[in-house]
Every structure is written in structure tokens, then in C-alpha cells.
Amino acid sequence: MDPDERVRFEDDYARTTGVLPDAIAKQFRAGLLSADPAEQAVAAARLDRLKDVDPALVSAIPADERRRAQAIAEFVDLGVPPARAVELAAEKPARGVLPSEDLVGGEGGADDGTGEDTLEGGAGETRQTPKVTPDTIADFFDNAAELEGQDFSDAAIAAGMDPGRAALVRDIFRAGEDDRAALIERIGEQRAFRADFKSLLGAVRAAGDDEEARRRVLLTTRSLVRAESEGVMRDAETLGAALLGTRGRPGAKPIGKAGHRRSGTRQLKPLKRPRPEPEHPRNRNVDEAVKIEGFTKPKPQTAENVNRRFPNFKDTPPAKLGSKAWRSRMHGGAPGDFVRMHTRGNPEGLWIVRREQVVDAKGRLLPPKVLQRKFALPKPPTHISDLSIPPNKAADVDISIVGPVPGWKGGDVVQYNFDKLPPEEWFINTLPLKEWRY
């Protein structure tokens, strides 16, 4: 297997199962201790991505190595060359400074315990990073959006914003359809904020030329543009509210009695679906599952073939040993027939199931713990995303039976996993479980 593909497999399986095998942990540590700064940067980026998903995943790595990895990853994320990022990480503690300040001549920083970043001046004085509010955002993008380069960065820092993320927000609002591919690539580099930036891009496109709707969306970007290096993903939860007629603040009351119906924004009708059949043979039998429309070129294989692609997980094989499996080609089409269950901030991955598999016969979503046991998940899921493969795209998929977990009831249901990690933009309509509907 290609080294890059193996890395994607290992990282995705660790995110999916919630387990970081010793072999992978040793790879991380060896990379961080390497004499080659590029290898240190690669190991740091992988470690920091997993930490953003679940800090417990990397708890086996010593704390001092985790802090150094965080610092290296932050500086590299800002465009600093690996060799310089390693040097800066040795000088500055992770999450304790604004990395952007370090690049423009600041003298370091600290957390005063109040939740606001502070920066130390030359004579020991301390100044507080300005608090970012919707009014700050409105003023900043009215007055500084046309600035470029260092002028824009200086203005963003003065407003308490992260220059790189503020620039990305600005460019999303400026972009046309031809710029979409480049924006998706830039969004992919924002480890802790990818889901929010994807939601922002979708919200801006939905707002179209409606200046009022675009303004409401802009005012929800507070946590995206804030300069704190430890971000909390909140904007994805408020972008929808901004488009549905609220006043652009979490918890705001709808405009008028009818709420979104009187907001003037475009509303999409929910897709009508047939009555769910969670106990249909295709959800228990791989021979039936492979007959689903949209699958072509089926080839029989065994569960052992599937498990062989995950060599670091011999103790917890994903496919039921001794069972039959298939490899097939999955083609693009209408979104929503397949979904991915996941935790917050982790929409993309290898593993998917049919939409009807996560509901009961009345179309009601199964409880999180039931889903966890049914599909042998490491944790109860918190979110669901639709799979939407573009019409001109296709991907190889394994169809197998869920491997059992000792002490758990459940399993013995069909699961699907991609041969390669799909592009992030294939996973859309991410929602918390409580907001999801069949």
C-alpha cells in the first residue's frame, strides 16, 4: 500500500475506533524525535489532527511531546517552514501564545485564566487581546476587508482575530464558483475548523446575492476569526440560524411569529423518502446489499480480505471473521441514501451505512448507545452527515458484516467502507443527532 494511503487508513481507523495502537504511537514518537524537521512536522500534524478529534486518542504520548507537537503544527499551519517551526516550538509553549504574534515581532504570550489571550509588552506590561463581538466583525470587514498582505494581518491582530482565518472568511464571501476548488483546498488545511468553514461556504452560497442574509451569516463567524489558538467550534451551529431568519446570535429569537418563513431567505423542501425498512435483507445480508442500485462490478471476497487492509487492528477486526464480503464500485448520484455517523468535527471517514439502518420502522433515529452497539462503534455518535458522491465520480467500496465486540449485543449488520479516504466535500448536511430526520 502507498505510504500516504496507509497514513490515511491508520488515522481514519484511529478516529473511528477511538484506539491508537502502540505501533502507530511509536511512529509518532519516532517522527517527533527525528533529526529531519520535515518528518517532525508530518508527525506533529498527524498527532494534532487526532488530538482535535479526541484528546484521549493521544494520551499515550508523553505530555511534553504532545505540547511540542501542537506548537510545531500551529506554526506550520501558519506557513512557517518546518525547520523554523521546530525552532519556534522549542522557544514557545503550545497554546500559550498567538502564533501569528510570534511571526510579526511579538514577545510571547500567556493565558490569564479568564479565557482571553494576553500579550506581554517590552516593559513587562500586559495587554489583553480585544474581545471579538458581532460589532467587531462588522466593523472589521467593512473597513479592513480590502487591505492585503501585512496590512490586513496587522489589522486582524489589532481586532483580536487570527489573520489566516480572517482572510479565509473574507475570501469565502468574495469567491465565485470558479474559486470553489481552491477554497475547499484551503479549508482542508484548517484542522480544528474545517467543518465550520465548510458550513460557512455552504451558507454563503445559499445566501446568494441577498445582502441581508450574507450579513447575518458574517456575524456568526466570531469563533472562527478569534485569535485564541485553542478554538471551540460553534459557528456550524449558528450558520443555519442566521439563514433561517434569526438575528445572527446563538439563542436569538426568530423574526416574527413564523420565524424562518418570514425571513425572506430561500427554503429547501425536505426530500420525500419511502418508509424505512431497517430489517430489509440488504441490511443483514451482503449478497443482497451488493444488488443496491448504484453499485457495479461486484467481486466476492472474504472478511479476512477486508481486515487485511487494517494491519494494526488485528485484535479488533472490523469485519466479522469467517463471513462473506464483496468489493464493488459505488457511483455518484443523489445524496442521502448513505450516511456516516461520527463525533463532532469528524465528518469525513471510510465507514458508512445506509440511511434506513439508523432508524426504526417508523423512521425514528435509534438512540446513540443503540447505534454504538449495533455498529460496534468506539463511542456513541453525536452527529450524522449525508454522503454525496458527485455524479461524475465513483469509488471502490467493501461490503461486509460488522465484526462483534466482546460483551456487546448487536452487530451482524451490513457495513460499507471505502477503499480510500473520500474527499471531505463528499460529506454534507452535517447535523447533531437531535436535529437529524429520516
pLDDT at 16: 67
Residue of 110, 239, 244 whose CA lies nearest to 172: 239
What distance in Å separates the CA atoms of residue 228 and residue 119, rounded to the nearest whole number? 12
pTM for the predicted model, two decimal places: 0.45
Share of the chain above pLDDT 70, in %: 75
pLDDT tens digits for range 394-406: 899 999 999 877 7
Residue 235: phi and psi, rounded to 5, are -65, -35
Q: CB-side exposure of 91: number of CA atoms within 13 Å?
A: 13
Dist. CA 161–CA 100, nearest whole Å: 10
The cell 510570534 sits on which residue?
102
* Cα–Cα distance for residue pair 107/99, rounded to 1 Å: 11
| Rg value, the chain, Cα | 23
pLDDT at 92: 58
- Indicate the domain borders of the chain: 3-94, 134-262, 281-435
- Chain segment 34-69, per-residue pLDDT in tens: 989 999 999 988 888 887 766 777 777 888 888 888
Sorted by sequence, the CB contacts under 8 Å of residue 232 that are 6+ apart come out as 223
How many angstroms separate the CA atoms of 52 and 376, rounded? 22
- The CA dihedral of 350, 356, 358, 360, to the nearest 10 degrees, is -170
Distances (CA, A) of 219 to 3, 51, 73, 161, 252: 42, 29, 29, 14, 13
Cell numbers given for 384: 450524522
Distance CA 311, CA 260 (A): 50
Give the per-residue pLDDT at 94: 41
DSSP 402-422: BPP-TT-----SEEEEESSPP
Does residue 193 sit in helix, strand or coil? Answer: helix
At 233-269, the pLDDT tens digits run 344 444 544 444 433 333 333 333 333 333 333 333 4
Please count the other Cβ atoms lying within 10 Å of the Cβ belonging to residue 314.
10
